[in-house]
Structure 1
Amino acid sequence: VPQFMVSVETPEGSSMQATEKAVTFAESVLREHPDIRYVFTNIGHGNPRVWAHELVFERETTPPQLTNVDKPFFLTAATCDFARFDLTDVQSGAEELLLLQNGGAIGVFSASRVVYASANAEINQEFYKQLFTPEADGRASRLGDVMYRVKQRFNSDNDEKFYLLGDPALRLLVPDHRVVFETINDTTITDSTLIHLQALSTVTVTGRIERPSLTGVDDTFNGTATISLLDAQRTVNVTDSDEDLTVNTFTMPGAALSRGSYRVENGRFTATFVVPKDIAFSSQQAQLYGYSVGEDNRTAMGSTDRLVVDGVSTDSYNDDEGPDIRVYLDSRYFEDGDLVRSNPILIVDLSDATGINTTGVGVGHDIEATFDGGELVETLTETFSTSLENSRSGTATKQMFGLREGHHTVTVRAWDVLNNMSSVSTSFRIASTDDGIVTSWVMNFPNPFSSETTIRFQHNISGPFEANVVIFDMQGREISSQPMEIRDMQTAEVMWDGRDTNGSMVGAGVYICAVRTTDAQGRMSEVRGKLAVIR
């Protein structure tokens, strides 16, 4: 994932409270930007058990709550004592994060003793500079080499207290290949050109993937590219509450006007999209960002700001209908009123003739899910990802938490780039946690059948569990038993070939199908249905 650092500088002598307000504002603005998924900041006085004196990130309580086992982060904490690794009785907060089994950090850069803010900021800036300076072959630098180069320049008494905890041979997953934008609407992108785009215009972008330290297309690169069009940058002024009413000025990226995924074949890609109505109408330069992942897990990124988005196109569209919306929970087998898990995943498939509005700029123009008439409202815009086959369709997904047991409704609302709106509602139910494992709705298709049939049932279990599908005749005799491990959410399937335990085809007639399930806690459930065999 592309990474960047935002440096917030306040006037000399500013209080910690004033600095923290500035950082909190910057972080809140960043979180509103759809391309930014993770924001990690630290300003404060720390010690071995807390990240900051406001009791942020406590060693005893916070690390056990992390579950990012598949996405460990690298942490820089320019604060006192957080990496005090020579304590004999307890582990420091940095060590806890590094050694956590179910998540935490893949490495930590922090101090082992008391350090001071100004010097901390300088060494922290240098560490990030070296961290994102590639080697001659274009690859990310090893953490040990980064640390070596930093300590060659910064070696004061304060600097000597900073350490790297982690594997010094590790390279962070910083893209080493480059995304190079070549043309916009058949106009070649150069440093001397400024290409003008308008709201409601159709835009076609072409580009290529280049190898590290080499020019020219990498024709061995095949995969996907996510292309984002960002509106003009905007300047935000914030007046502090100190006695001088200090004004802090921030330059923020513009709203994401379009974000779609496209195929990369032999190192080249073409992206086509419609610019939405909701633009800033600014003469300032906009930006195109590209992030690409190859089938062999190579990554690339790049950008250009040689464009302006302003004015409205005269292109006409015969489209006055909102997007087509399909809503599911946990599985696309879901149907209205079905049983789901206690923390279900909301799945929203969207499509439209002109494209889905993902800017979130206009009033109420987010992709939004409202539960139970407004008790819970979730914004899905930043989770939307376009289809590789059709950039005017895609899916938004988000796991829901805090829903009580019982019957629920959800209404999803979305807009297209012409600002036509549509909404769709569905209902679902969550079983009581006291009920343990719950299964329901056994059915099979085709039914009746002659050679084989698929047996499907619903469940409310989050993790993998064991199931046994047992077939009985109408006299109650067991005909077939098929144990299996279920990993699918909400709906599970198993195929029966119409044979008994000896491998012989069963005779024509009606049979009972019983699905017996057992979860990790040993709780059991059984649900039954009928199926018919014809010969």
Structure 2
Amino acid sequence: MKLALPEYSVQTTSVNGKPVENLRDTLSPLNSYMFTGEVRTPSGSLANNFNGLVYPTLYDKAAKVKTLGNDSESNVVSFDDQQHVLYTGKVKAENGRFQFTITLPSDATQPYGEGKLSYYAENGVIDAAGMDERFVLGGQASNNVRDFLGPTVKCYLDNESFTNGGIVHESPRLIIKLYDSSAINISGIGIGHDISATLDKKLRSTYVLNDFFIPELDGFFKGTVQYTMPVIPEGSHELIIRAWDIYNNSGQCRIDFKVVPQQRTEIISLSNYPNPMTEGTVFTAQLGGVTGLLDVDIQVLTIAGIEVNTLHKTINADSNRSMDIIWDGKDYHGNKAIPGIYLYKFLVRNTLGGTTTRVQKLIIR
């Protein structure tokens, strides 16, 4: 079976305005380099009708890596591997041409060695790939510009409407929004200089997230990390998220949260306003725990347990964990409920079969 390899290619054409064929300079830490390139047809000519996205990735110099030799019959073998990513980007290609700028992190120092620039491009119809190993990396930082501010780090669980102290299921999705005016460091070269998440201050529960960083279009200054956490025990927890810029300044974010088993939905808060009411009221609830579609019923009952009316709403807890339901104060027949003390039963059903109920008091004047 033939592999589905891209027929179009991606090639570097210049670095800082110099044709790449004549490049003699070493790419050194904390210096910026503007790359230009082209998407080319199978015949090698410019694909001037190609308008799409290019994903360049710059790998650091190769390092010696050893196999673990876990099998008693296997030998430990050394080999060269380019493990560290110095830059990953997403840029537009217009009429087959594109450009992007890389500033190398301060961790990318001596010794000298060849880096590797890998490309992938696509426009929804055509894809292309390429690789360039004509770059020498290393040396000492020669840029006198200094940056002493760490990245801005914002973090959420499951969705960006999450509020600190909220409730999630056992394996929530961690969302990290990063910004730094210099650039985000994802190289993992310097010890501890990783995008990381630490659960409950335990080092053994620290997760390195460099490989999950997705840059925004035309910029390595801003991007997102999304990572599905492993199963976390029920109860209260905290996450400390830390990230670094290319000058090795750090920024962090803390999340406090409570884990509720996925089959359960928890009612964090429930109220209605106004209460007492005359013409109508709004029931407001904040939910936690299970995600997905939730069916919500509010049964209005007399003190004797006679049902006056039932209100229904379906919400998607993946994107919205708060809800409002309006009641006009009328019964099933459209008649206004008489003044007195009532109960309302708030019932939530999730798609996993879990049901949660809470009962509260309502007064009609």
Please classify the TM superposition score into its range, dividing by the shorter chain length.
0.7 to 0.9
How many angstroms apart in 1 are the aligned matches of 2:360 and 2:91?
A: 44
Question: In 2 relative to 1, CA 221–419 (structure 1 residues): closer, same or farther, beyond 3 Å?
Answer: same
Match 2:249 to one of 420, 443, 458 = 420
2:51 to 212, 221, 229: 221
Alignment equivalent of 2:165, drawn from 337, 350, 353: 337
The 1:494–1:261 alpha-carbon spacing in structure 2 relative to 1, beyond 3 Å, is farther
Unaligned 5+ segments in structure 2 are 273-281, 335-342
C-alpha contact (below 8 Å) 1:195/1:306 kept by paired residues: no
Per-residue deviation at 1:280?
4.6
CA distance in 1, matches of 2:18, 2:206: 43
Q: Distance in 2 between matches of 1:359 and 1:443?
A: 49
Which residue, 31, 40, 47 being the options, matches 1:210?
A: 40
For 1:363, the equivalent position in structure 2 comes to 191
Q: Are positions 1:276 and 2:97 aligned together? A: no
Secondary structure of 1:438's aligned partner: strand
* CA 458–282 in structure 1, closer or farther in 2 if over 3 Å, else same: same
Q: CA deviation at 1:177?
A: 2.9
CA distance in 2, matches of 1:287, 1:216: 23
Hey, what does 1:409 align to over in structure 2? 238
How many Å separate the matches in 2 of 1:297 and 1:390? 24
Contact 2:46 2:96 in 1 (8 A): no
Per-residue CA deviation, residues 422-462 of structure 1 (Å, 9 max, x unaligned), is 222221001246x7232334699xxxxxxxx9977433214
Q: What residue in structure 2 maps to residue 197 of structure 1?
A: 27
Q: Deviations over 1:47-83 (max 9, x none)?
A: xxxxxxxxxxxxxxxxxxxxxxxxxxxxxxxxxxxxx
Distance in 1, matches of 2:360 and 2:132, equals 60
Q: Contact 1:273–1:392 at 8 Å: present in 2 too?
A: no
1:257 maps to which of 71, 76, 86: 86
Match of 1:395 among 210, 214, 224: 224
Instruction: Give the number of the structure with larger relative contact order, counting CA–CA contacts within 8 Å between residues 6 or more apart.
Output: 2
Structure 2 partner of 1:488: 318
- Please give the TM-score of this superposition, normalised by the length of structure 1: 0.55
Is the CA contact (8 Å cut-off) linking 2:109 and 2:141 kept in structure 1? no
Q: Deviations over 1:166-203 (max 9, x none)?
A: xxxxxxxx43432222222112222x544421100012
Partner of 2:61: 232
Q: Does 1:185 align with 2:185?
A: no
Number of aligned pairs?
338
Matched, 1:319 2:137: no
Structure with the bigger percentage of strand: 2
Choose the corresponding residue for 2:350, options 515, 519, 535.
519
**Cα pair distance change 1:377/1:290, threshold 3 Å:** same
How far residue 298 of structure 1 moved from its aligned partner, in angstroms, is 3.7
Q: 1:441 to 1:227 in 2, by over 3 A?
A: farther
2:88 alignment partner, SS class: strand
User: How far 1:469 moved relative to its partner?
Assistant: 6.3
Aligned to 1:116: none
RMSD between aligned alpha carbons? 3.9
CA distance in 2, matches of 1:469, 1:354: 51
Per the TM alignment, residue 322 of structure 1 is displaced from its structure 2 partner at its CA by: 1.4
More helix by share: 1
In 2, distance between residues paired with 1:319 and 1:355?
Answer: 11
Q: CA deviation at 1:528?
A: 8.7
Q: Where does residue 306 of structure 1 map in the other structure?
A: 134
* Cα deviations by residue, 1:350-369 (Å, 9 ceiling, x for unpaired): 11111111000111111111
Q: Does 1:350 align with 2:178?
A: yes
Determine helix, strand or coil for the equivalent of 1:304.
Answer: strand
Conserved 8 A contact 2:90-2:219: no
Q: Kindly state the Cα deviation for residue 471 of structure 1 after the two structures are TM-superposed.
A: 9.6
Partner of 1:90: none
Ranges in structure 1 where 5+ consecutive residues have no aligned partner: 1-129, 133-139, 141-173, 445-452, 505-511, 531-535
Which whole-Å CA distance do the structure 2 matches of 1:493 and 1:350 have between them?
A: 26
Question: What SS does the aligned partner of 2:46 have?
Answer: coil
